[in-house]
């Protein structure tokens, strides 16, 4: 018998589950039945596609038994793919995902408040320790003769030893604690299976003793041992929409995800004709916790003629729709389709293309029929849709209608279409500002130059905006212009501004000489009102904030894009610089002007010590 310690992340997760999820403890049944169903799916696939398994007698099923007398136990057994000794260590001894530690760190603060996050994360097998003091797993992998037993009290360690099992599959035996007492009875087990696992595609049988009384006075006790199927075991997505209720869909959604909540909405489609397939897609209420992680778990399962193929294929839908959960079931793909074939298969490409159009079309309908509900959707999934602007050129026009932005003109979110309707006749472009937090962007000294002229400015505070929006170019023949780039300044420049610019040339040259290579240029501003200066960048350069973000992500070989300093010729500080003759003073004030302009944009200046030194010098001289 080998005793091994859990990995650190498992210890942390177990502690969170056992101490923070009692209000959701019943999900242990959903998780264990779901794991059994996955094991059956995998073996069914092999019996249909692998010569080594085609002769295997396979009657897939899940059996649940319980003992409510003496030491209370609950047993869940399947005859699926089973596990080897190595599988046990890998699957029950560690959690091999890069996002796990980050997730656990987030959960340390207030685990009870964020219990739904744990649901999104998927507590899986470990949820059984909410209701059990000791757990045994007896398993034998299909195609192998040796069985193994894994056992643990869910604290620090587990043991693995050789065991015996007549056929392939896995048996999980829970020795329940006080928290699990209520589930060791026929009624509760039936209720939980119907609630969470009714639409699992394999039969679930409950084994129990039923007491009855016979005789003239009904005093003769009779005990009958029964085995009854307690789920429908039907592929819900194959059933007609007319015979399904919202509750049916919601139960199924929870059975294929780790979500506690109902989905925001669902889309059920059956295509017939040249290519036949069925899709059932769900949109969660909350974004999955791993939405922005490179190793995100895809949310769509692929079936062929109701046979499960994979739930680990990121090409079933484009990456920007990775938040979608559900099922694709094709009648035309071969059962033994490989991952490589999937990516090149004409049928799969057609299903993918049609599914994307269907999803985007349904999002569009929702935005028109129920704006409030669509706003809830946008709060969670606006950013991934923006990724589609960059990666899905074929559907860009549709995506441009779906994405939403914050604005200086309206509360909440607005569309590009609504912005265009509000544009005044003399407005030349759709103006936006990107590259920073919402508050920083709203406080930009550039803003008043546009809003005081009645021009609406879109606030783009997603990190991705700085990358995606410049690629759009135009929306319905109207150019999109960033006000924190140099080009948009010309749109609001008047003849008076041009005269001021000519008059300010000597002080502009003086400041530019003092700043040297720190700036690309120093220009007179036609849009600053209160501030003495601000920084902008050339049209084709990334914003200063974007440059910082790219470097933080490891893009160390980026060239230095120096900013342009816009100065306000009417401001007292700029006029004072025009009168200065002390070269050191001109240098100090000019550099302070640039540094404070960078700070106002939320950018950390490169040399804070130099900034403080110059500020001290200037203050000393004027005081």
Q: What is the pLDDT of residues 408-427, one digit of tens each?
A: 999 999 999 999 999 998 89
Say how far apart CA 16 and CA 261 lie, in whole Å.
20
CA distance 117 to 434: 30
Co-location of 578 and 518 in the same domain? yes
Instruction: Check: CB of residue 288 under 8 Å from CB of residue 383.
Output: no
Tokens of 421: 């309707």
User: Do 15 and 149 have their domain in common?
Assistant: yes
Rg (CA), the chain: 32
pLDDT at residue 551, as a whole number: 63
Cα–Cα nearest to 185, from 99, 73, 108, 103: 73
HEC readout, 453-505 = CCCCEEEECCCCHHHHHHHHCEECCEEEEECCEHHHHHHHCCHHHHHHHHHCH
Residues 227 and 310 in one domain: no
The pLDDT value given to residue 313: 86
The residue range of the domain holding 482 is 405-492
Instruction: Kindly report the average pLDDT of the chain as a whole number.
Output: 87
Residue 26 pLDDT level (bands cut at 50, 70, 90): confident
How many domains are contained in the chain? Answer: 4
- Final residue in a domain of this structure, among 231, 253, 269: 231
CATH number assigned to the domain comprising residue 548 = 1.20.120.790
For residues 612 and 511, membership in a common domain is answered with yes
Task: Examine residue 396 and state whether it is found in any structural domain, yes or no.
Answer: no
Residue 51 resides in a domain: yes
Q: Which residues contact 345 (CB under 8 A, 6 or more apart)?
A: 333, 337
Within a domain: 48: yes
Which residue, of 201, 231, 261, is where some domain finishes?
231
Closest CA to 574 of 600, 591, 593: 593
The reply to whether 245 and 289 lie within a common domain is: yes
Cβ partners under 8 Å of residue 269, min gap 6: 278, 279, 280, 355, 358
Domain termination site, one of 367, 382, 397: 382
The pLDDT value recorded for residue 71 is 87
DSSP run (H or E) holding 347: helix 346-369
Digit-coded pLDDT (tens) for 484-523 = 988 888 888 889 989 999 999 999 999 999 999 999 999 9
Same domain, 461 and 506: no
- In terms of domains, do 55 and 183 share one? yes
The CATH number of residue 62's host domain is: 3.30.565.10
Same domain? 119 vs 28: yes
The CATH number linked to 448 is 3.40.50.11260
What average pLDDT score do residues 126-153 get?
93
| CA end-to-end span of the chain | 81
Residue 399 lies in a domain: no
Phi, psi of 453 (to 5 degrees): -95, 5
Is residue 98 located within the same domain as residue 189? yes
351 and 313 assigned to the same domain: yes
In a domain, 529, yes or no: yes
pLDDT band at 570 (very low <50, low <70, confident <90, very high): very high
Q: What is the DSSP letter of 221?
A: E
Rounded mean pLDDT, 594-601: 90
Task: Please check whether residues 247 and 218 belong to one and the same domain.
Answer: no
Q: Does residue 14 fall inside a structural domain?
A: yes
Q: Could you tell me how far CA 483 lies from the centroid of its own chain?
A: 30
13 assigned to some structural domain: yes
Helix boundaries (H) for 492-568: 495-503, 505-515, 544-552
pLDDT by residue (tens digit) across 396-405?
999 999 999 9
Same domain membership, residue 190 and residue 70: yes
pLDDT band with cut points at 50, 70 and 90 for residue 98:
very low
Is residue 80 situated within a structural domain?
Answer: yes
Residue that wins the pLDDT comparison between 411 and 546? 411
């Amino acid at each position: 018998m080998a005793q091994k310690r859990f990995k650190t992340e498992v210890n942390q997760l177990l502690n969170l589950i056992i101490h923070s999820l009692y209000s959701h403890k019943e999900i242990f049944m959903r998780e264990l039945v779901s794991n059994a169903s996955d094991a059956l799916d995998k073996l069914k696939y092999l019996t249909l596609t692998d010569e080594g398994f085609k002769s295997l007698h396979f009657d897939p099923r899940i059996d649940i038994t319980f003992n409510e007398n003496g030491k209370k136990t609950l047993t869940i057994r399947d005859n699926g793919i089973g596990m080897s000794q190595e599988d046990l260590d890998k699957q029950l001894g560690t959690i091999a995902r890069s996002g796990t530690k980050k997730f656990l760190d987030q959960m340390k603060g207030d685990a009870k408040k964020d219990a739904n996050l744990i649901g999104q994360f998927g507590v899986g097998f470990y949820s059984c320790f909410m209701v059990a003091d000791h757990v045994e797993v007896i398993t034998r992998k299909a195609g192998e003769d040796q069985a193994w037993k894994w056992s643990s009290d869910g604290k620090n360690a587990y043991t693995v030893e050789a065991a015996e099992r007549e056929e392939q599959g896995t048996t999980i035996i829970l020795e329940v604690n006080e928290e699990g007492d209520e589930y060791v009875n026929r009624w509760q087990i039936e209720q939980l299976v119907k609630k969470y696992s009714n639409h699992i595609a394999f039969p679930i049988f409950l084994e129990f003793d039923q007491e009855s009384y016979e005789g003239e006075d009904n005093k003769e006790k009779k005990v009958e041992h029964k085995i009854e199927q307690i789920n429908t075991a039907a592929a819900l997505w194959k059933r007609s929409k007319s015979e399904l209720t919202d509750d049916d869909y919601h139960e199924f959604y929870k059975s294929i995800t780790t979500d506690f909540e109902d989905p925001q909405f669902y889309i059920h489609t059956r295509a017939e004709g040249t290519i036949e397939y069925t899709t059932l897609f769900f949109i969660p209420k909350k974004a999955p916790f791993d939405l922005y992680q490179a190793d995100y778990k895809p949310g769509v399962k692929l079936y062929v003629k109701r046979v499960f193929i994979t739930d680990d294929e990121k090409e079933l839908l484009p990456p920007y729709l990775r938040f979608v959960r559900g099922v694709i079931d094709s009648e035309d793909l071969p059962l033994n389709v490989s991952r490589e074939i999937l990516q090149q298969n004409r049928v799969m490409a057609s299903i993918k293309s049609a599914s994307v159009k269907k999803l985007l079309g349904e999002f569009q309908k929702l935005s028109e029929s129920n704006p409030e509900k669509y706003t809830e959707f946008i709060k969670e999934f606006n950013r991934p849709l923006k990724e589609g602007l960059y990666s899905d050129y074929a559907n860009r026009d549709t995506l441009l209608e779906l994405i939403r932005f914050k604005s200086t003109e309206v509360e909440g979110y607005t569309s590009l279409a609504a912005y265009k309707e509000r544009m005044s006749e003399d407005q030349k472009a759709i103006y936006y500002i990107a590259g920073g937090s919402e508050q920083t962007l709203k406080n930009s000294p550039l803003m008043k130059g546009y809003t005081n002229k009645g021009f609406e400015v879109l606030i783009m505070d997603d990190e991705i905006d700085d990358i995606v929006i410049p690629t759009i170019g135009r929306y319905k023949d109207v150019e999109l212009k960033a006000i924190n780039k140099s080009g948009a300044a010309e749109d609001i420049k008047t003849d008076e501004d041009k005269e001021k610019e000519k008059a300010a040339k000597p002080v502009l040259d003086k400041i530019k000489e003092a700043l040297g290579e720190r700036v690309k240029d120093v220009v007179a501003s036609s849009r600053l009102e209160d501030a003495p200066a601000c920084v902008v960048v050339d049209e084709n350069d990334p914003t200063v904030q974007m440059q910082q973000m790219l470097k933080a992500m490891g893009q160390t070989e980026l060239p230095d894009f120096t900013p342009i300093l816009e100065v306000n010729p009417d401001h007292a500080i700029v006029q004072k610089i025009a009168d200065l003759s002390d070269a050191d003073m001109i240098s100090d004030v000019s550099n302070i002007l640039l540094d404070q302009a960078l700070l106002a944009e939320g950018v950390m200046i490169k040399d804070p010590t130099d900034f403080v030194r110059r500020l001290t010098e200037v203050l000393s001289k004027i005081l």
